Amino acid sequence: MAQFQEVTQKSMQHPKPKGLDLQYGTAGFRDNAQHLDHIMFRMGLLATLRSKKTKATIGVMVTASHNPEEDNGVKLIDPMGEMVTPAWEVYATQLANAEEEDLLTALKDIIEREGINLAEEANVFVGKDTRSSSASLSQAVLDGVSALGGHSKDYGLVTTPQLHYMVCCQNTQGRYGEATVEGYYNKLSQAFLQLTSDVPNRTDDQKHLVVDGANGIGALKIREMEGHIKKGLQISLFNDGTGGKLNYQCGADFVKVQQKAPADIKMNVGERCCSFDGDADRIVYYYSDTEGRFHLLDGDKIATLISTFLKELLTQAGLNLKIAVVQTAYANGSSTHYLEDTMKVIVRCTKTGVKHLHHAAQEFDIGVYFEANGHGTVLFSKAAEEKIQQLVDSSSSDERRSAAILLHNTVNLINQTVGDAISDMLIIEAILAIKGMTVQQWDAIYTDLPNRQLKVKVSDRRVIDTTDAERRTVSPAGLQGAIDSLVKKYRKARSFVRPSGTEDVVRVYAEAETQESADALANEVSLAVYRLAGGVGDEPKLLQ
Ligand code: G16
């Protein structure tokens, strides 16, 4: 077939280095950008097949998110704007790793197994982040799409959540919104301004927010959006990409893991600050107190703030909807206790990776999901949205209807397709404004258990296998026993390890009653990983 000839020919311009084997990770392929040209071409092919199969538009985002500038990666987006279904992750890996001479066989295998009609139309939306490698890699995706006769639309520089949003808008024929960047700004800013318009006497200080753009795409997009929201929010933007390096000493991952403010940011005492990550799908908040101590408000605190707000509104609106919070093993123990014991909401724990949390959140009328690293959003079931809308349209008592209007605007402000730093920032700002709450009051809802995250280099991180939503290891032999004994040494302690799906490291998490204990436990568990799971290089250094 002519299409297959075209694939073979174009593939020669994007050759696979022989023997290179890459795995589909937590959120797609991610590696040094120099290894990814063939992967991008092939993901263009795969997205085209997925589009033919689903008869819908598919998205391909070129980004390595929180990773350093020299890395890159690709995220595939399914019709409703969610991450691609896990069954197709397997195809992605097969296609990515087929040697050049086996590429057509791998392609035909997917076509046959999925019963794809090649005559079907295909549409693929493509976006990219600001990395220097992203331009040529996104061209490779476009080449893959055209090789199989698909149509593509290149959105150029967009945040990951913006591309998820476009895909959803397109496949819902505009019901979710207009599939343009301007449409995204209009939808979110209108909802934000409506939510905050009735809040009396907000001072300029209360409207002010310091934003760390991680020197990435989020900085560009917040600049574009600023004009739409300035009546309700005044932003001081740092790490806007004009000087510093992407994600270097800045960004949500740096702030969360290092538990300190980004370099090159001006933070006054008590001032609300937030950091995006490299593709603006994560956000964390922070401030420093009068003693100069740094306070982090991570994904757990964000989930608590949002779920408390929604629960109160549901009560005021008299709506009986089931609300749950979905977390991962990284969730601070204090947050889980607070949500379950004080807030009385259902809490679920899944494996790391937004796709897992998203799926679990879909089981509830309202599913609030957040990873501690600041990646998360809220999902509203169709029934929940309808009940809210009915109340907005009704002539029920003022209090019930006012609560329903707030809920309605909240639904419009949230990007339900995936975690979105811009949308999350606006919902947090709106909630703080409506509740007249300072960042310190938000922080005081519960106190985090001190915690520490470390990374350990091993020769093959796949030797670590986990179970129970990654809270326990099943291999290598002896590791879980060693962790259990170490945890027993400390009060209120917990620790787990898991192989990262975005970096070539094993991640170690520990929490305990004091910071000294959390640090010591993290150190000791790192050493156990190093010794039992094939550590490379020097033994992990002890934290001082
Ligand atoms: C991606 C995923 C997140 C995950 C993070 C770290 O985020 O979307 O769900 O928490 O990687 O994953 P891991 O611990 O497996 O490296 P991002 O923002 O980097 O795309």
What is the tens place of the pLDDT at every residue in 165-224?
999 999 999 999 999 999 999 999 999 999 998 898 888 889 999 999 999 999 999 999
Q: Mean pLDDT throughout 67-83?
A: 97
- CA 177, distance to chain mean position in Å, is 21
User: 25: CA distance to ligand 1 center in Å?
Assistant: 9
| 92: nearest Cα among 77, 72, 71, 70 | 77
| Residue 509 clears pLDDT 70, i.e. is over it | yes
542 confidence band (pLDDT: 50, 70, 90): low
Contacts of 167 (CB under 8 A, 6+ apart): 57, 58, 59, 77, 78, 79, 80, 81, 125, 179, 417
pLDDT tens column, 19-43: 999 999 999 999 999 999 999 999 9
Q: Is the CB of 375 under 6 A from ligand 1?
A: yes
Is residue 539 very low, low, confident or very high in pLDDT (cuts 50, 70, 90)? Answer: confident
* Residue from 11, 51, 65, 517 carrying the catalytic annotation: 65
Site to substitute for ligand 1 among 23, 375, 418, 470, most atoms within 8 A of C-beta = 375
φ, ψ (nearest 5 deg) of residue 136: -70, -30
Cβ atoms 65, 27 nearer than 8 A: yes
Given a cut of 50, whether residue 544 has pLDDT beyond it is no
65 has catalytic annotation: yes
Q: In this model, does residue 543 exceed pLDDT 60?
A: no
Q: Which atom of ligand 1 is nearest to the CA of 499?
A: 15
Q: How far, in Å, CA of 346 to CA of 354, rounded?
A: 19
For residues 125 and 169, is the Cβ–Cβ distance under 8 A?
Answer: no
Tell me if 30 CB under 6 Å of ligand 1.
no
Mean pLDDT of the residues in the chain: 96
List, for residues 271-319, the tens digit of each pLDDT value. 999 999 999 999 999 999 999 999 999 999 999 999 999 999 999 999 9
Full set of structural domains in the chain with CATH: 2-157 (3.40.120.10), 451-532 (3.30.310.50)
Q: What pLDDT sits at residue 1? A: 72
Helix ranges restricted to H, 414-492: 421-435, 439-443, 479-488
